[in-house]
Amino acid sequence: MTFGFDSTTDDVVTGIDLTGRVALVTGASTGIGLDTARALASAGAAVTLAARDPEKLAAAADQVRAQVSGARVDTGVLDLASLDSVRAFAAEWLAGHDRLHLLVNNAGIMFAPYGHTAEGCELHFGTNHVGHFLLTNLLAPALLADPPARVVNLSSGGHHASGIIWDDPAFEHHDYDKMQAYGQSKSANVLFSVELDRLLAPHGVHAYSVHPGLIMTTELGRTMTRDDLADLMDKAKASPSGGMPPAKSVEQGAATTVWAATSPELDAHGGAYLEDCHVSEAAPHATDPDDAARLWALSEQVVGQTFSY
């Protein structure tokens, strides 16, 4: 079946059987993360919902159970802006699970004011990339335990705004720009997928990056000001597209994520950048294999841990 811009999560999982498969979705208490978790559960997967707020998590899990008869869901508190929290979550999760088939690194922030994670990373880079980098590698033994498995990293068309600022990723010596900071983190998501797939594909684990599209009803843009929105629209008007893309519903926005996690046709496209339920093409600065390896080394330095496969 052919899917596209208008496809929803329910369209994508029709006919998919995930019975016996284990999934984990970050940022799953609201928005496209929650609908991703619901869709995977509806296809039979056992799903862990991970997010920062335990009350929102409990409500999200209840919502999935109400929508999906017999849903197998559990929850875990995870703050990606704290590597201590990432390590604690991973240790607790691995204590209760011996295998993982679908890891969806969905959580993220956008247009946040200048700030740092607990370890001193610029907030977008640390939350959107570094936290997920560490989480994925800590959970790698479970991903490798029962292949095939997949990792889906939520990127954005916003990655076109900036590649990795190699000499100053934390904006310590450059004027801070919210769009550039967000773009850098989203390029990191694509580069991470490229290198992760290179390392893990021989072991039966593929990685993909996803552009979900423009979804106006999620909490991703909760820190955006009116000036930020005006600036974003001005940049969109000046781009080759000539304006903002059409908006999607949450169910349409999550469809490419679920397609990335489940589509058999993607077995031959490890490391790919996906949008509108199709294999697409990211900017050169986000797909260069040498830069992907360079980012991996930088990320290991930041987390203080090396990983080899």
Tokens of 176: 């801070």
Residue 219 scores a pLDDT above 70? no
For 16, the 3-state DSSP assignment is coil
- Confidence (pLDDT) at 222: 53
- Sheet of 72-77, strand order: 72-77, 46-51, 22-26, 102-105, 149-154, 205-211, 273-275, 278-279
Residue 234 scores a pLDDT above 70? no
Q: For 170-202, how does the pLDDT look when each residue is reduced to its tens digit (9 = 90+)?
A: 999 999 999 999 999 999 999 999 999 999 999
Residue 28's pLDDT band (cuts 50, 70, 90): very high
* Predicted TM-score (pTM) of this structure: 0.93
Residue, of 245 and 182, whose pLDDT is higher: 182
Residue 214's pLDDT band (cuts 50, 70, 90): confident
Residue 244 scores a pLDDT above 90? no
List the domain boundaries for the chain.
Answer: 9-302
What rounded mean pLDDT belongs to the chain?
Answer: 92
Say which residues have a Cβ less than 8 Å from residue 69's Cβ, sequence separation at least 6: none
Residue 58 scores a pLDDT above 70? yes
Q: For 107-148, how does the pLDDT look when each residue is reduced to its tens digit (9 = 90+)?
A: 999 999 999 999 999 999 999 999 999 999 999 999 999 999
- Confidence (pLDDT) at 228: 54
Residue 2's pLDDT band (cuts 50, 70, 90): confident
Q: What are the Cα distances from residue 41, in Å, to 44, 199, 262?
A: 5, 28, 12
Q: Report d(CA 273, CA 95) in Å as an integer.
A: 32
Q: Report d(CA 192, CA 215) in Å as an integer.
A: 24
- Confidence (pLDDT) at 239: 46
- Confidence (pLDDT) at 142: 98
Q: For 256-280, how does the pLDDT look when each residue is reduced to its tens digit (9 = 90+)?
A: 999 999 999 999 999 999 999 999 9
The single residue of 114, 182, 273, 309 carrying the catalytic annotation is 182
Q: What is the mean pLDDT of residues 215-222?
A: 56
- Confidence (pLDDT) at 39: 98
Least Cα distance to 60 among 89, 92, 31 occurs for 31
- Confidence (pLDDT) at 213: 87
Give the side-chain half-sphere CA count within 13 A for 279: 12
Work out whether strand 205-211 and strand 278-279 pair parallel, antiparallel, or are unpaired: unpaired
Q: Report d(CA 239, CA 218) in Å as an integer.
A: 24
Q: Report d(CA 101, CA 206) in Å as an integer.
A: 10
Assess contact for 148 and 86: CB atoms under 8 A. Answer: no
The rounded radius of gyration (Å) of the Cα atoms in the chain is 18
Supply φ then ψ for residue 156, to 5 degrees.
-170, 155
Q: Is 182 a catalytic residue?
A: yes
Supply φ then ψ for residue 139, to 5 degrees.
-90, 0
CATH architecture of structural domain 9-302: 3-Layer(aba) Sandwich (3.40)
Measure CA of the first residue to CA of the last residue in the chain; give whole Å: 35
